[in-house]
């Protein structure tokens, strides 16, 4: 049975999230720093600039942004346990402030033009409840960003369905844990993501599953909506791993 995104993270994904990324958050943060350096540049000067990480998870991009020299990094997420984990990773990085909130309501609480940049990466966009929810993030980001402020998105385009065994995706395996994902293309708007985690214990292997809906957004649709919400798209490409990378500037 499919559950709400928040429940899926609480039940299954949050405790396994950093393991799923490879198990070493500092290593992941370094790769994200290299990517963000290319996509975003950096703050005008060290210790300056406010940036929001929308759907920050355990902090891969938040830590990168702090290390790039942003003075204030708002790490926003709906999952309290991931934010707690992020706070532990961020010790010694005073720029980081965690915010337990939905992306839109957190952005709405900021002053107009308060942000130099915002990032929404690693498929967070596809976790929003519907297309109107995605547009609400663009609208709220356009208001919260300063003129010329940048919005960085990374996401998969799941608009084309997969069939048969192509829908089974190995995520990660180690000696004691195996994670597999099964995609069920439910309708034109959503794909049901079934996460399956096998974990080895003293008594043998245990098996946990949980499912949640993800949005099927075409990359062209994302670009069109950004333009409608007052952004100019400066960069739009697909990585070798299939992730779309879109950078938009808030028009003056």
Ligand X SMILES: C[S@@+](CC[C@H](N)C(=O)[O-])C[C@H]1O[C@@H](n2cnc3c(N)ncnc32)[C@H](O)[C@@H]1O
Q: Is 78 in the site for ligand X (CB under 6 A)?
A: yes
Q: How far is the CB of 79 from ligand X (least distance, A)?
A: 4
**Pairing status of strand 115-120 against strand 48-54:** parallel
d(CA 141, CA 104): 8
Q: How far is the CB of 215 from ligand X (least distance, A)?
A: 11
Q: How far is the CB of 2 from ligand X (least distance, A)?
A: 15
Q: Is 42 helix (H, G, I), strand (E, B) or coil?
A: coil
Identify residues 10-39 at the interface with ligand X (CB under 6 A): 21
Q: Single out the residue of 10, 89, 102, 229 in contact with ligand X (rule: CB under 6 A).
A: 102
Mask 40-69, x = binds ligand X (CB under 6 A)?
Answer: --------------xxxx--xx--------
d(CA 34, CA 161): 31
Q: Single out the residue of 128, 141, 158, 197 in contact with ligand X (rule: CB under 6 A).
A: 128
Q: Is 82 in the site for ligand X (CB under 6 A)?
A: yes
Contact in structure between 198 and 206 (CB atoms under 8 Å): yes
Contact in structure between 162 and 183 (CB atoms under 8 Å): yes
d(CA 147, CA 20): 37
**Residue number with CB closer to ligand X (31 or 206):** 31
Contact in structure between 53 and 32 (CB atoms under 8 Å): no
For ligand X, the binding residues (CB under 6 A) are: 5, 9, 21, 54-57, 60-61, 76-79, 82, 102-103, 121-124, 127-128
């Amino acid at each position: 049975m499919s559950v709400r995104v928040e429940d899926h993270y609480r039940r299954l994904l949050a405790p396994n999230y950093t393991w799923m990324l490879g198990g070493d958050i500092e290593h992941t943060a370094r790769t994200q720093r290299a990517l963000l350096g290319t996509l975003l540049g950096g703050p005008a000067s060290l210790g300056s600039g406010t940036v929001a990480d929308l759907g920050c998870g355990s902090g891969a991009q938040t830590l990168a942004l702090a290390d790039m020299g942003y003075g204030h990094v708002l790490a926003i997420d709906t999952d309290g346990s991931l934010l707690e984990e992020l706070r532990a990773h961020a010790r010694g990085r005073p720029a980081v402030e965690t915010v337990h909130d939905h992306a839109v309501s957190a952005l709405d609480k900021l002053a107009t033009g308060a942000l130099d940049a915002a990032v929404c990466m690693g498929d967070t966009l596809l976790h929003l409840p519907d297309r109107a929810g995605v547009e609400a993030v663009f609208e709220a980001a356009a208001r919260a960003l300063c003129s010329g402020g940048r919005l960085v998105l990374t996401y998969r385009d799941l608009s084309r369905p997969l069939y048969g065994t192509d829908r089974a995706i190995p995520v990660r395996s180690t000696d004691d844990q195996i994670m597999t994902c099964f995609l069920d293309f439910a309708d034109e708007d959503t794909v049901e993501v079934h996460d399956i985690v096998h974990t080895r214990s003293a008594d043998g292997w245990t098996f946990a599953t949980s499912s949640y809906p993800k949005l099927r957004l075409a990359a062209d649709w994302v670009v069109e909506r950004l333009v409608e919400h007052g952004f100019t798209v400066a960069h739009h490409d697909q990585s070798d791993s299939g992730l779309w990378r879109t950078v938009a500037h808030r028009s003056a």
